[in-house]
Amino acid sequence: MVVETEIGHSQAVAVNSAAHRQLYAKRAPVHPKLVSGQFRLIKTAILILTLGVYYLTPFLRWNHGPGEPDQAVLVDFPGRKIYLFFIELWPQDVAYVSGLLILGALALFLSNALFGRVWCGFTCPQTVWTDLYITVERLIEGDRNARLRLDKAPWSADKITKKVIKHAIWLLIAAATGGALVMYFHDVRTLFPEVFLGTAPMGAYMFGALLTFTTYALAGTMREQVCTYMCPWPRIQAAMTDSEALQVTYKRDRGEPRGPHKRGQAWDNRGDCVDCTACVAACPMGIDIREGSQIECINCGLCVDACDEIMVKVERPKGLIAFDTDDNADRRQAGLAPRWRPIRARTLIYVAVMAVIAGLMGWSLLTRSSIDLNVLRDRNPTFVRLSDGSVRNAYTIRVLNKTNAARGFELRSEGLPLALDVVGGAVEPSGAIRFELEADGVRTLRVLARHAADGLPAGRAPVTFVVEAEDGAELAVKSIFVASEQRGP
């Protein structure tokens, strides 16, 4: 704390600035060195797979039926539908989207309980695009040392050329990323030429430009700072993890005391770490895993690959840095064999909850109706007593044909002897209301339901409206018929 009266104003300012210097450190650019090994291989495979899926999915075709768009994955706002290959979701089916999000969150919790932050290290879009951007940077400016030298070098024609080419390719990737996102919301065969002809909807350009900018900024310029400062998951993950989750760990008991080692020297009374800092140079987060578990670590395993390479060179066993649990550090110190228990209470609970949600969603998806029926009873007035003593209630009934074919429908009431009438339509001699609906069509009916004076229920009575399609599909919705102000039994 600064007390001006004791040390004077100028000293106070000096102390204050010193305090600020401690609280703020300018970012040192991180230039990870390319490593080879199993985790680099897995990361590259996932990078190709995820980017391939993201960029190419809008171009996949699927026959959704006559008159429907043939894009396999499409969020069709004007048509009020989401197409996911053989699944079509209506606004009424938003629960499935919520269910998928809940399943995604639980899968993240499960992967955290088993393997720590592997989502961050391998599949998070921020990691995948940053990895792609670093690959481009490496191709143009060279590996770590060349990039560090280039950063420090004064501006020259060579430096300007390299930087311009790098940023131009980054912008192209960003534009392709923004463009691909827009294609998930528009028919790609219509939109693709329109974008280049300048005739696409303004929203397509705006959202494309927004994602172009965010991709370039987050993956190109901000990189590891997004994970360290902007993303909430590291904090949530730190609170959720336990001592039996696999984390990238430096085996201190084996590595220390560290120090340089010359070929032919004995390994007695020292650790296996030769202090080469290859693990630090490989880290895309710019941290030293030998300092212990850190919130910045994304569990990408690249330091494992880097250290394994060194261990092979110095002829020591691989795995000085490895995926390991906190428990095992204690077990090794106690002379016990390391172990990993993927099946434990929390993982079983996650799997069970996921299975229940996935099962319920699957069952509901398979058995969902091809009709949607919405019944809204008039509340003002709640009922009308006619001159012959009968009572009439009015309903607004909305029927949706959730198929890709026109169908005939019949609407009837059950549970009470009601005579139905429809405003602007005709009623069958059977008392049912018949109407046609085109594919994906919606019809709103103004229905008047009348109960004769004889046998009028007291107060409110339950009634069911049933809509039946000509192909036998049927849906019933319960409502209320109000016969008087009196409360029913």
Residues that bind ligand SF4 (CB under 6 A): 248, 250, 255, 273-279, 282-283, 285, 287, 289-290, 297-303, 306-307, 310, 320-321
- Residue 158, helix vs strand vs coil: helix
For 327, residues 6+ apart whose C-beta sits below 8 A from its C-beta are: 243, 244, 339
Going across the sheet that includes 460-469, the strands are 433-437, 407-414, 460-469, 474-482
- Taking the complex as a whole, the smallest distance from the CB of residue 139 to ligand SF4 amounts, in Å, to 21
Which residue, 305 or 440, has its beta carbon nearer to ligand SF4? Answer: 305
Contact 456, 483 (CB under 8 A): yes
Q: Which long-range contacts (CB under 8 A, 24 or more apart) does 380-386 make?
A: 382/482, 383/482, 383/483, 383/484, 386/450
d(CA 158, CA 172): 21
Helix-, strand-, coil-residue percentages of the chain, each rounded to 5: 45, 20, 35
| Nearer to ligand SF4 (CB atom), residue 303 or residue 449 | 303
d(CA 166, CA 186): 31
Beta-strand pair 418-422/407-414: unpaired
Q: Provide the 10 A C-beta neighbour count for residue 449.
A: 21
Report H helices in 370-440: none
Cβ proximity to ligand SF4, 73 vs 276, nearer residue: 276
How far is the C-alpha of 403 from the C-alpha of 119, rounded, in Å? 38
Beta-carbon neighbour count of residue 15 at 10 Å? 15
Q: CB of 255: closest distance to ligand SF4 in angstroms?
A: 6
Whichever of 306 and 463 has its CB closer to ligand SF4, that residue is 306
**Tokens standing for 34?**
């390319």
Which residue, 95 or 236, is less far from ligand SF4 as judged by CB? 236
Least distance from ligand SF4 to the Cβ atom of residue 273, Å:
3
Which of 120/399 has CB closer to ligand SF4? 120
Instruction: Pick the closer one to ligand SF4 by CB: 174 or 227.
Output: 227
Distances (CA, A) of 361 to 1, 97, 364: 58, 10, 5
Minimal distance, residue 342 CB to ligand SF4, in Å: 20
Q: What does 10-70 look like in DSSP terms, one character per residue?
A: HHHHHHHHHHHHHH--PPPPP-PPP--SHHHHHHHHHHHHHHHHHHHGGG-B----TTS--
Q: Choose among 295, 219, 210: nearest CA to 47.
A: 219
Q: How far apart are CA 145 and CA 151, in angstroms?
A: 10
CB 299, min distance to ligand SF4, A: 5
Distance in Å, CB of 305 to ligand SF4, minimum: 9
Return the number of the residue (34 or 476) whose C-beta is nearest ligand SF4: 34
Smallest separation (angstroms) from ligand SF4 to the CB of 95: 37
DSSP 8-state code for residue 76: E
CB of 402: closest distance to ligand SF4 in angstroms? Answer: 47
Residues with Cβ < 8 Å from 131, sequence gap 6 or more?
A: 43, 47, 284
Measured from the CB atom, is 282 or 437 closer to ligand SF4?
282
Between 31 and 290, name the residue whose CB sits nearer to ligand SF4. Answer: 290
CB of 35 to ligand SF4, least distance (A): 9
| Shortest reach from residue 363's CB to ligand SF4, in Å | 40
